[in-house]
Structures are given as structure tokens and as C-alpha cells.
Chain A
């Protein structure tokens, strides 16, 4: 294993282009450093990026919120700008890990680690968040909905890094999206199931975590509800949900519970939006 600490973003992008595989970016390290300690990462070239100023900061830019890739979970949950424009995002991270982790775990680290349980992702999916990806020669925007392609598989190229996450403020963001994380306790818990939900202009945006190989939108449920916003029936809703999720049984929970708890919360969210 060789470690690099490039002085600038430009140098980082050159390293990403020049170094042979296997290479790995290191931000907060709350996922990777455990693998290093357990000798599961041994021969990679590791590029440390957390000190790069271009990856930090939370800004309002016209109609979007731009969050630097290396912004920490605590910075997001305490940020005045986020509390003003996206308070539900700040609240949704209240039970992320513990303060000892949230103080250095980063947003892009959570997204790029590509865990099915990543807590920041379901809500960002319903908010239509986009990733800003940069390589030495290109800068491109990728909707978060298109980022994951399979278990721990993404469209991030070998020579790219995430430099920021953008949240458009004119759509879903205005309609109080909700996020629920089901764990065995509040602190230091990994979600057994998680659901993000928002309704606006009779459209629904719903995404789930821990219920598929990666966090994803529930398109069948969204479509069914957009056709039956006020006259949905539980049976059809459940059938649509079954098309969208593939819950498994593992040491955290079992598939029957995961399906049921997801369905219960879906109904609860629907009732809350119908009554308001």
C-alpha cells in the first residue's frame, strides 16, 4: 500500500489519471480505515483528499444548494444554510452513526462507499440531487438516480472524483420530504430499512435504503400512486412495492419484517400527506 497526499486538486486529478489500478480515495476514512486495519486493503494506492479546500463548503447558488464532497455529516446537520433551505436533510442525519464518527465522515464518502444502507442517499434521491464529477479533462453532472449500477457498483470512472453534490431547491425540496430510518436503536445503528418520501403536484418521489443492492427510487410505487393519488388500495400498493424492493434476511433483520415495515411507513406517509 502506498499513500499519497496531493497538495492541490489539480495534482489529485493527475494522480488519478497516472496511477495504475488499484487506487482508492481516502476522505474521512470511517469506511476505509477499518478495511485497512483488517488487512482487507493491502496493495492499493491510497490518495488522501480531505484537506483539499475545493471539496469543502456549503453554498447557495441561484436555485440550488451546493455541498462540497468532503463536507462532514455534522457540518451538514448543523449548517445554517441547510437548516434554512433543507431542514429535513439536517434532521435526517441526527441519528447518523455517533458524534465521534459524524464529525469526520463525509457526504461523498457515504455516497461513493455505495452501501445499500447509506443514510444520506434515499433523501437525496427524492430531492433529485446531482453529483458533480471531475477528472483531469472533464467535469460532468450525473443525477444520483443514475449513479449506482449494482451492489457496490457505480458509474464513477477510475480517473474521477466527486467534487460536490447539488440539490435543486425549486422542486421536491419545497414540499417537506420525510425520512425514516429503522434500526435496532437510535445511535450507532445501521438501517434495517429506510424510506424517503415526498409528494408534490400530485407526483410522488419515494426511495428506499437497505431494501435493494443499492439505495434506489421505488418507480412502480411512484407510478401506481400518481395514477391513484386518492383512491389507492393496499393490495395494489403492496404489489407495486414488491416489484421495487428485494429485501433479504441477514444478521440485522429478515425479509418479511423489512417488507412489512416499509409498507407500514409508506401507508403512514400517505396518510400524513392526505390529511395535511
Chain B
């Protein structure tokens, strides 16, 4: 067991967990934050995407010892965070959500991109989302959603 200290959605957290427990399990099973999904568990689907120090990563491939002192953000932060909230609204407006299983991961990857650039090109959006699979939408509406969120945020800025 290790004492794990990290920031989760802007709140300090201290937990006792096995050093090899995965971040995905810490979030879902220990903290009951089930917005982050488990798909493949091997880094190939992106359903488990969270932000770690502002970069999108697969939480299924992160162990507790790697998360020590890190800043983690999950989809639950959409309740407070303007960028996540705007992305969530845009996904709904453009019809980018069908079953919704990929959506939390898509939105976290999209936020990582918008933190880098508020005017992403289509190619930059595709590149940023290439690790997130969606079996329902065909991606077109998802790309539109990210464009719409970028536009909305730029207008507000």
C-alpha cells in the first residue's frame, strides 16, 4: 500500500491504495467516479481517457505510483469547468452522442487539444481524437462538436 496524494478535479486527494492499482480503478472503484469508462483495458479505445497534468492519457495504463502528486481531471469536472461544459453542450447540439460510451473520453481528449489551441484545424482535431474509438457516430458529428466548442469559447474570450 502507498499513500497516494494527487489533485482530482481541483480538489486534493489522499488515499491508501496498492502501488500497482490502476488510475481507472482508483477513480471508478475507490472514488465511485464512474464517468470514466473501461473499454479495452489495453490502451486502444480511449474510453478511459482523463487529463493528467493537462495532457490526455489512458487511465487504464496508469498505476497509482505514476499518479503521485499529479493533477488529474475527469469528465465529472464538467459540472464546474467552463471548457468541459462547453464541449459537453456542443456534443449534444451536434448529435455527437449516441450510446455515449465513448463521449467522456472524447471530451477529455478534445479539452487537451483546446488547451493547446483554441483554433484547431480539422486535421488537428482528427489527430487529437485518433486514440478514441466510437462505434456509433462515424465521427463526423464529433469533429463538428469540437469545432463548435472551439468557436463558442473563442467568441466568449
**Neighbour of B41 across the interface among A29, A37, A99, CB < 8 A:** A37
Task: Indicate if the CB atoms of A50 and B57 lie closer than 8 Å.
Answer: no
A97:B131 contact, CB within 8 angstroms: yes
Contact across chains for A5 and B127 when beta carbons are under 8 A apart: no
Interchain CB contact under 8 A, A100 and B58: yes
- Selected interface stretch from B43-51, B83-91, B134-142, B146-154: B43-51
> Which of A34, A46, A51, A188 is close to B131, meaning CB atoms less than 8 Å apart?
A188
Asked if residues B20 and A34 are in contact (CB atoms below 8 Å), the reply is no
Complex: A9 Cα to B46 Cα, angstroms: 33
Q: Across the interface, do B46 and A36 meet the contact criterion of CB distance under 8 Å?
A: no
Q: Tell me if B92 is interfacial: C-beta within 8 Å of chain A.
A: no
CA distance A213 to B134 in the complex (A): 35
B26 surroundings in chain A (CB, below 8 A): none
User: How big is chain A's contact interface, by range?
Assistant: 20 to 34
Are A99 and B22 in contact, CB atoms less than 8 angstroms apart? no
A33 and B61 within 8 A (CB): yes
Q: Is the CB of A103 within 8 A of B65?
A: no
Residues from chain B with a CB closer than 8 A to the CB of A178 are none
Tell yes or no: B63 within 8 A of A by CB: yes
CA distance A34 to B44 in the complex (A): 11
Q: How far does the alpha carbon of A5 sit from the alpha carbon of B65 in the complex, in Å?
A: 8
Contact of B43 among A1, A26, A30 (CB under 8 A): A30
A48 and B65 contact, CB distance less than 8 A? yes
Q: Does B68 sit within 8 A of A, measured CB to CB?
A: yes
Separation in Å of the A29 CB from the closest CB of chain B? 6
Decide: A3 and B43 in contact? CB cutoff 8 A. no
**A33 in complex: contacting residue of B55, B56, B62, CB < 8 Å:** B62
From B68, which residue of chain A is reached at the shortest CB distance?
Answer: A5
Q: Is the CB of B57 within 8 A of A103?
A: yes
Fill in one digit per residue for A13-51: 1 if any B CB lies within 8 Å of its CB, else 0. 000000000000010011001101100000000101011
**A100-B66 contact in complex given A3-B19, A37-B41, A188-B44, C-beta closer than 8 Å:** no
Residues of B within 8 A of A100 (CB): 43, 46, 49, 56-58, 109, 131-132
Residues of chain B within 8 A of A101, CB atoms compared: 43, 58, 61, 131
Q: Is the CB of B130 within 8 A of A187?
A: yes
Chain A nearest Cβ from B127, distance in angstroms: 7
- Taking a contact as CB atoms under 8 Å apart, the answer to whether B63 and A36 are in contact is yes
Is B65's CB under 8 angstroms from A98's CB?
no
Given the complex of chains A and B, what is the CA–CA distance between A1 and B19 in angstroms? 10
State in angstroms the CA–CA spacing of A100 and B127 once bound together.
Answer: 11
CA distance A98 to B22 in the complex (A): 20
Chain A proximity of B129: nearest CB distance (Å): 9
**Interface set, chain B 101-151, CB cutoff 8 A to A:** 109, 112, 127-128, 130-132
Since A5-B19, A29-B63, A97-B43 are in contact, a sample of 15 more A-B pairs with Cβ atoms closer than 8 Å, ordered by chain A residue number, is A33-B22, A33-B61, A34-B43, A36-B63, A37-B22, A37-B60, A48-B65, A99-B56, A99-B109, A99-B128, A100-B131, A101-B61, A103-B57, A104-B57, A104-B61
The 3 closest A-B pairs by CB, nearest first: A98-B131, A187-B130, A100-B131
